[in-house]
Amino acid sequence: MANTLQGLVISKINYNDYDQIITIFSREEGKLSFYAPGVRKAISKNQFSLQLFATSEFELFLSYHKNKVSKLKTGVLIKDRNLLAKDYDDYLVATLMVEVLDQVIEERTGDDELYNLITNSLDRLLNNSDNLIIVIFYLFKMLKWYGLRWDFSKCQRCHKKEGIKTISFIDQGLLCRGCITEKDYLFSIGLIKEIILWQDHQFTVTAFDNKTFVTNQELMLLFKMLCEYYLNVVGIFSYSIKEMADKSIYFK
């Protein structure tokens, strides 16, 4: 008997001549991989539902045994986000977002908060032309699922709450004016206050519908530092970061 569930396509691997192995993230089942036979054929009706970053409804023959794989029966596209592939920088940052998601979630573990975070963030990435702030917000939020909670309540070197001036990736939190050294980058106080606001669990990506951020050198530097932090401290593997380091405007 087939089960129906809705999910976001986060990866796809070609298999044999016409088949694919698809990984989705669903609200009900969490991360789930399944075999999709014949979907690379031009006549396949299921191919549109399997676009990367798409949200679709899938009818699946679910397997609950580790040595057996689930299998696709039908797929119906609900929301495509293929415009993200039209701009190479948008495609790379969207790929980074699903890479970060894919490497932290376990198979068959649903998470409403995480599902809302990734789908709503991709939607804002799609709908906002100046969208680097969305990715930065998402990367800060995702640290929670990696078990890394930065302390934004006080200076991490002297523990004072007054005179906060910047953030430190080494100390994983705030620094005050008295503790800054020449090795610390001084971000604008407006950006620091914004990042502190993000720590409220009630602050979601939908808040950016009423905010405007212009991508500038400061945001690009913060994004680059976040990418390096994910590579060197969090320990993810990322094809997209390697590509951005070589080709993206965000790493210039």
Per-residue pLDDT tens digits for 85-104 = 889 999 999 999 999 999 99
For the CA atoms of the chain, what is the radius of gyration?
20
For 62-85, what is the mean pLDDT?
90
Please give the structure tokens belonging to residue 169: 């990736």
Q: What pLDDT, in 10s, does the model give residues 140-154? A: 999 999 999 899 999
How many angstroms separate the first and last alpha carbons of the chain?
52
**Range in 63-77, 96-110, 183-197 with the lowest mean pLDDT:** 63-77
The band of 66, judged by pLDDT with boundaries at 50, 70 and 90, is low
**What is the band of 61 on the pLDDT scale with cuts at 50, 70, 90?**
very high
Tell me the mean pLDDT in the region 172-191.
Answer: 96
Is residue 197 scored above 70 in pLDDT?
yes
Q: Indicate the pTM of the whole model.
A: 0.95
pLDDT score for 128:
85
Residue 69's pLDDT is 86
Q: Which domains does the chain have, with CATH numbers?
A: 3-80 (2.40.50.140), 85-149+199-251 (1.20.1440)
Average pLDDT over residues 170-191: 96
